Structure 1
């Protein structure tokens, strides 16, 4: 997240956002990474003009570009470098929020039940073989930076660092996630259920398993024909309900959770009887478009 202010140093950022074309580029890159040629074709503009717009977005820190292998050649692929921009005005006093943060690698699950298509990989190699659930028990799984399955669940146990003198105000969970199609298919909906401490928070329908263009962080050895990147989702649980990317997902609030003293239990699941059984892919640091693992925060105030 870029946190800008009214200082003149941020003028390149504001200039980068002051263009319909550049805003359109941001929207397209939020869906998939693209090279300048693809952007030019979609926008109906010349390559030189698109290159100028991309350079402005790069200078502002909004877009990052990297050379990747694709279709037998090397291409300079563009992707969003940040999930958003926040502008802080000097006359607005910002309240400092205190929180505990736990960052969980995607392979550090404590329980699972998965069905093909499925698999795991580190940033350097596959763990075991494709479509063999037994490798989800392999001790090397803790090194995984991506995992996927057709249906089932993975469950993580995280430490609860809240003290008796700290009042929980909000829980925030951030992760990059998407569907799991055989190969890739951007039109492959999947109903993914999020649960915390055995309480269902709600269901998000992933639109597909993106793969038109490589992810910004996709390792060079990773083939083009499988999962590339997902969607960065932000879950917020407050007293009045659960929100996904700022939109209310359910009425489940903090008071509905059975808070355990020492741990939180987070489950990500595609149920067998879901309307859309389209699987789940979870991207960690080193894969996808966002260089992060599962980020779990508990905001609190001292009593």
Structure 2
């Protein structure tokens, strides 16, 4: 689950702001339990536990299902989240001017992928899954989610800076996960990023997530399929390349042909990677962030 500092995430923070509810989450992390079992374990009444369960359900941290029991139908609660990330608002180099552009995930200019793989728009699959030839389908431009096990997608990005403007920082943001047939929250994948033919670095994505439905994932998409990714940001400055604030490599702006009219950005899972767990790239209409890949160009004006 991914949260931010906004009212939209407040119900989750409120659900976690209770010692009793934290104890319930710890118990459910070990096994699914019903109200009576939780009440007995915590030495509380069933009525009190029920109120706490409702708040955890509203926060989408747990799910309660009805199943047959010895004395009829019983409600069993289970944990559906195993990780929470919080994205804090940041201001990067506010003294620089900035231009940005969003690039739809289906607007790649080159590819080489192996199954499992596929593309989909917010309305339907594009072609047949696990057949790489459909990555050349004309409808690929409408893709809002793309996945593959090994290989790469490559994008051409127009450089918006004009004569007399000097790039100080390039920021690339996207929502991404690994790739697993259906989904697996623990499925590491080594994903490598390139810019203009230079290796920016490799990040190990922890999994492919379906513990809860993606905020913008369309209703026709099955619950068992990948629902959302992690929102990640690559920042390339004159001092190196960072991934979510952590150093990714020493590659700096001066090492790249950053003045070219077109920049080439590649996302790859290499055949010699330690963890070949594929990748899933989310655009508008899927996942938890209603945006495509975003490129922000921070610049100063030459005197």
TM range (shorter): 0.7 to 0.9
What is the CA-CA distance between 1:100 and the residue it aligns to? Answer: 1.4
TM-score (norm 1): 0.74
SS in 2 for 1:117: strand
Q: Which residue of 2 aligns with 1:236?
A: 235
Q: Which residue of 2 aligns with 1:208?
A: 207
CA contact (8 A) 2:173 2:294 kept: yes
CA distance in 2 between partners of 1:260 and 1:243 (Å): 20
CA distance in 1 between partners of 2:18 and 2:237 (Å): 35
Q: Which residue of 2 aligns with 1:300?
A: 299
Alignment of 1:175-190 (within 5 A): 175-190=174-189
Q: Which residue of 2 aligns with 1:259?
A: 258
Q: For residues 245-272 of structure 1, what are the alpha-carbon distances to aligned partners after superposition, in whole Å with 9 as ceiling and x for unaligned?
A: 1111111111111224311110000000
Q: Which residue of 2 aligns with 1:104?
A: 103
Q: 1:21 aligns with which of 17, 22, 25?
A: 17
Q: Which residue of 2 aligns with 1:116?
A: 115
Alignment of 1:88-103 (within 5 A): 95-103=94-102
Alignment pair present for 1:159 and 2:158: yes
CA distance in 1 between partners of 2:5 and 2:15 (Å): 20
CA contact (8 A) 1:122 1:144 kept: yes
What is the CA-CA distance between 1:16 and the residue it aligns to? Answer: 8.8
CA contact (8 A) 2:5 2:86 kept: no
What is the CA-CA distance between 1:51 and the residue it aligns to? Answer: 5.2
What is the CA-CA distance between 1:87 and the residue it aligns to? Answer: 8.6
Alignment pair present for 1:48 and 2:51: yes
Q: For residues 19-78 of structure 1, what are the alpha-carbon distances to aligned partners after superposition, in whole Å with 9 as ceiling and x for unaligned?
A: 9628999xx9xxxxxxxx9xxx9xx884534655898xxxxxxx8x8xxxx99xxxxx99
What is the CA-CA distance between 1:97 and the residue it aligns to? Answer: 3.2
Q: How many residues align?
A: 258
What is the CA-CA distance between 1:179 and the residue it aligns to? Answer: 0.4
What is the CA-CA distance between 1:95 and the residue it aligns to? Answer: 3.8
CA distance in 1 between partners of 2:217 and 2:11 (Å): 30
Q: Which residue of 2 aligns with 1:223?
A: 222
TM-score (norm 2): 0.74
CA distance in 2 between partners of 1:137 and 1:216 (Å): 29
CA distance in 2 between partners of 1:190 and 1:169 (Å): 31
What is the CA-CA distance between 1:164 and the residue it aligns to? Answer: 2.2
CA contact (8 A) 1:3 1:87 kept: no
SS in 1 for 2:116: coil
CA contact (8 A) 2:116 2:149 kept: yes
SS in 1 for 2:133: helix
Unpaired runs of 5+ in structure 1?
A: 5-9, 29-36, 56-62, 72-76, 89-93
Unpaired runs of 5+ in structure 2?
A: 26-33, 43-47, 67-79
What is the CA-CA distance between 1:292 and the residue it aligns to? Answer: 1.1
Structure 1's consecutive aligned runs of 4 or more residues displaced over 3 angstroms after TM superposition are 1-4, 12-20, 22-25, 44-47, 49-55, 82-88, 94-97
SS in 1 for 2:217: coil
Residue 167 to residue 118, structure 1, CA distance change in 2 (3 Å): same
What is the CA-CA distance between 1:209 and the residue it aligns to? Answer: 1.0
CA distance in 2 between partners of 1:15 and 1:106 (Å): 31
Larger radius of gyration: 2
CA contact (8 A) 2:183 2:224 kept: yes
CA distance in 2 between partners of 1:16 and 1:176 (Å): 21
